[in-house]
Structure 1
Amino acid sequence: MNLPPSAHRVPQNTPDDLNQRIRHTTQANIDYYAHHPDQIDDRLSELDEEWDIERVLETNAATLALTATIFGLLFGRRWLILAALVTGFLLQHGLQGWCPPIRLFRRLGFRTPREIEAERYALKAVRGDFKDVPQGMEGAEPAMRATGRLGA
């Protein structure tokens, strides 16, 4: 089975209008902070705390499966059907990058880790974090210099 990389599966399995809305919101954020550079640090802190779609899906699935299991033990085995359904969805997401709750979470505006990182790096570029990266350097060294992880 030849699946696309994980970073691409959620957007590929999300309707175009939702992907476009998420891209538009991200671009609007970048445009806003380009005009308000004094607020970029606060926005980067917000992005550090933003829950990506994977975290939301995993937390939702664990909560529902655990609740259904407890209810199954206390109120009858019928509740175990919900636990099986939720874990089946989680398995489907792991294999295909899609499951029914993804559309709801995307509609609510949850982004992939890659989409969040794209905004983060655009804001860092707007802030000027990469202006001192020497040209012609190869490998990870330029990025490490720009992020302060490698001495000058």
Structure 2
Amino acid sequence: MLQNVASDPGALAPEELRAQYDDRLRETVETVGAATVAEEAGVSRESVDALAAGESPDLTLEEAAAILATEAETPDADAIEMEVLDELMMGMSIAVVDVESLEADLDGELDAKEIQQKIEGRFPVSLSELAAIQQAIEARKP
């Protein structure tokens, strides 16, 4: 899903990775239709229309997962969200990186505790935060 939109997310800037997330979501909006996506995903029509117009609206992982789940052949939103978060945790293990190191990589955008809580799904993570975290993890992988 979102975690697989780029072949080498570690080589991209977080903004570039976020743009690829938006492109993937835009594909869903184009396939399913903006009105249907907004209704079924419970995401504001303004955000869905912004995606369709090529913009990058403020969305959380939860909202993005709900958008993706409107496609017929995709898992439900909870499964998508958990898959993305699990992939981050697995990436941290492979890269042998802890949240304190990620905090340093993110130049103080998020502190270690916030990163931990977001990766564990205890607090919402915006798509921009997700892109920054995923990029930082992937850049450290051997």
TM-score of the two chains, using structure 2 as the length reference: 0.31
Bigger radius of gyration among the two: 1
Which structure dedicates a bigger proportion of its chain to helix? Answer: 1
TM-score by length of 1: 0.29
